[in-house]
């Protein structure tokens, strides 16, 4: 049974233009703290046409809510209701280990008493792999990830935010323009994907990839 006192970080990758409708749904489910960003998928346009899954451009929602509301939201998306409104995408949650006490109090207030319906079982066999790479190397890194079993990923544009006068980090040349690749992978593929990326595109290569992963508690693919 889920810990009703837990606070979750809920991350959603959806089709571009669906973020606003999803945020409305989240609010209806009591998930009120939402942040929206933009990204792009790594599949080619030809493959997207064949699969019929729409644009490679993505809306990314980052939400903070209670464990109870997170489970209720994921169950709703897993039901596949109103897929024409919300499109297709993936959503997962992770437990937060620290948060402002006032925000935590607000997020955990007004929760339902009792069981509140069936609980979702934690799917601990999935991980989120995050890869920071120099701009221009994303396609090569994703090709390597696919060779190790990855099915795809979402790319978020970023910049190095260290000291402006720093051109190297512990002897490693830095490039200010970065891209972060987010890959959701099954646990039995995680190590192989990370090791292959590090071997071919690690910090001492032109891609300068930094790789890490975090376990996901619940994972739903909706369409």
- Residue 212, classified by CB atoms within 10 Å of its CB into exposed (0-12), middle (13-18) or buried (19+), is exposed
Q: Which backbone phi and psi does 28 adopt, to 5 degrees?
A: -65, -30
Give the pLDDT score at 19: 92
Residues 135-142 have a mean pLDDT of 94
The model scores a pTM over 0.85: no
What pLDDT digit, counting tens, does each position of 163-200 carry? Answer: 555 556 556 666 678 899 999 999 999 999 999 999 99
Q: Give the bridge partners for 12, in sequence order.
A: 61, 91
CB 25 within 8 A of CB 12: no
In this prediction, residue 53 has a pLDDT band, given cuts at 50, 70 and 90, of very low
């Amino acid at each position: 049974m889920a810990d009703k006192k837990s606070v979750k970080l809920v991350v959603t990758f959806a089709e571009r233009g669906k973020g606003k409708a999803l945020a409305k749904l989240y609010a209806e489910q009591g998930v009120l703290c939402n942040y929206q960003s933009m990204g792009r998928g790594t599949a080619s346009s030809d493959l997207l046409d064949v699969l019929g899954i729409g644009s490679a451009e993505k809306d990314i929602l980052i939400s903070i809510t209670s464990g109870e509301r997170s489970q209720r939201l994921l169950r709703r998306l897993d039901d596949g209701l109103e897929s024409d409104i919300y499109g297709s995408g993936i959503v997962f949650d992770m437990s937060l280990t620290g948060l402002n006490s006032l925000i935590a109090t607000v997020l955990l207030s007004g929760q339902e008493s009792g069981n509140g319906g069936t609980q979702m079982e934690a799917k601990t066999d999935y991980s989120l792999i995050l890869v920071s790479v120099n701009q221009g190397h994303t396609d090569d890194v994703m090709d390597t990830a696919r060779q190790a079993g990855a099915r795809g990923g979402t790319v978020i544009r970023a910049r190095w935010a260290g000291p402006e006068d720093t051109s190297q980090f512990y002897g490693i040349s830095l490039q200010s323009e970065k891209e972060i690749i987010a890959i959701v992978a099954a646990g039995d593929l995680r190590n192989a994907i990370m090791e292959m990326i590090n071997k071919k595109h690690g910090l001492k290569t032109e891609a300068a990839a930094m790789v890490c992963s975090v376990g996901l508690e619940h994972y739903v693919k909706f369409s």
